[in-house]
Amino acid sequence: MTTNAPDMTESQAIAHILTHCRTVAVVGLSPKAHRESYHVADYMQAAGWRIVPINPVAAASGQTILGEKVYATLTDAAQHEALDLVDVFRNSDDVPPVVDEAIALGLKAIWLQLGISHDATLARARAAGMVAVQNRCLKIDHARQAMQ
C-alpha cells in the first residue's frame, strides 16, 4: 500500500500502523517489569507482534527483554531485523535523534508513546514519507481496534 504520510490524519496513521506493522523496535524498552514500556511491549508481543528491544545499557550487558535480543541502536537492530515500526519510550527532547536515525534507515513508521511529542520532528518524519503518531499509546489503540 502506498501512503502519502504528510496528508494522513491521525486516525488514518493509527489504522495504517495497526493494519500493516507487525515488527516493532521499542526504543527505551526497560527490562523492569513494572515500567510502562515493558507492559506495552509485553501486550504487543502477546498480540502476535515481534518485539525488538532497543536499550543501550541492557544491550551492553547482554540482557534479553521479553525473551528477545536487545540492540543498542536502531541501526544495530536494522542490520538484523526487518523493522516495520519504531515505538519510542524516551523523553520528548530525546526524540529528534531517534527520528533522524529512523529516517536515515528508511523506516516507514514511528510512534511516540503517550506523553511524548515533538511536532517539528514528526513533521520532518512525515515529509520523509514516514507514517507518524505522537502522544498516543500503542497498547490502548491496539486494544480499542481489537474491540471494534
| All structural domains of the chain with their residue ranges | 5-147
Q: Using a cut of 0.75, tell me whether the model's pTM lies above it.
A: yes
Distance CA 43, CA 132 (A): 21
Is residue 98 within 8 Å of 26, Cβ to Cβ?
no
Cα distances (Å, whole numbers) of residue 13 to 22, 70, 98: 15, 27, 19
Which CATH homologous superfamily contains domain 5-147? Answer: NAD(P)-binding Rossmann-like Domain (3.40.50.720)
pLDDT at 8: 84
Encode pLDDT of 21-79 as tens digits.
Answer: 999 999 999 999 999 999 999 999 999 999 999 999 999 999 999 999 999 999 999 99
Distance CA 64, CA 112 (A): 23
pLDDT at 5: 63
